[in-house]
Chains A and B, each alone.
Chain A
Amino acid sequence: MSATRAATPPHTSRRADGAGPDGARRGSTLRRHAGLAVIAALLLVAASYNLEPFRNFQLATVAAYLCATAGLTILTGLNGQLSLGHGALMATGAYTVALCQNAFADAGMTGGWLLPVSLGAAVVAALAVGAVVGVAAARLRGPYLAGVTLAVAVVVPALAVTFDGVFNGEQGLAVPVEPPPAFLGVYFPYERWQLWVTAAATLLALVLLANLVRSRYGRTFRAVRDDEVAARLAGIHVARTQVIAFVVSAAGAGLGGALLAVLAQSVSPGAFSLTLSLFLLMAVVVGGLGSLTGAAWGAVLLVALPDLTHAVTEQLTLSPAVAQRVEGNLPLAIFGITLVVVMIAAPGGVQGLLSRLARAVSARRPGRRRP
Chain B
Amino acid sequence: MDRFVFLTLDGLSRGAVLAAFALALVLIWRAARIVNFAQGAMAVATAYVAYSVSAATGSYWLGFLAALVAGLLLGAAVDLVVMRFVDHASPLNPVIVALGLVLLIQAVLGMAYGSEFLPAGTPFSRNPLTVGGAAVLSPYDLFVFAAVAVVVVGLAWTFTRTAVGLRMRAAAFAPEVSRLLGVNVGGMLTLGWALASGVGALAGMLVIPTELGLHPHAMDLVFVSAFTAAVVGGLDSPPGAVVGGLAVGLLLSYVSGYAGSDLTPLAVLVLLLAVLLIRPGGLFAPVAARRV
Contact = CB atoms under 8 A, between A and B. Distances in A.
Interface residues of B, number: 52
Contacts of B280: 139-140, 144
Contacts of B96: 82, 281, 285, 339, 343
A162 interface: yes
A141 B96 CA distance: 14
A333 B105 CA distance: 7
A151 B272 contact: yes
Interface in B77-134: 82, 85-87, 90-93, 95-97, 99-108, 110-111, 114-115
A157 B87 CA distance: 33
A151 B37 contact: no
A84 interface: yes
B101 A336 contact: yes
Nearest to A286: B100
Contacts of B139: none
Interface in A128-157: 136, 139-144, 146-148, 150-152, 154-155
Contacts of B104: 332-333, 336-337, 340
Interface string A106-147: 000000000000000000000000000000100111111011
A265 interface: no
B67 to A, nearest CB: 22
B268 interface: yes
Given A159-B266, A343-B86, A347-B93, A281 B99 contact: yes
A340 B101 contact: yes
A284 to B, nearest CB: 10
A339 B97 contact: yes
Contacts of A136: 273, 276-277
A144 B292 CA distance: 18
Interface stretch (B68-76, B171-179, B224-232): B224-232
B265 interface: yes
28 contacts: A76-B92, A82-B92, A136-B277, A140-B276, A146-B37, A146-B92, A147-B227, A147-B228, A148-B276, A150-B37, A151-B224, A155-B268, A274-B217, A275-B103, A278-B102, A282-B100, A321-B114, A325-B110, A328-B115, A329-B106, A330-B107, A332-B107, A337-B100, A340-B82, A340-B100, A343-B93, A343-B97, A344-B85
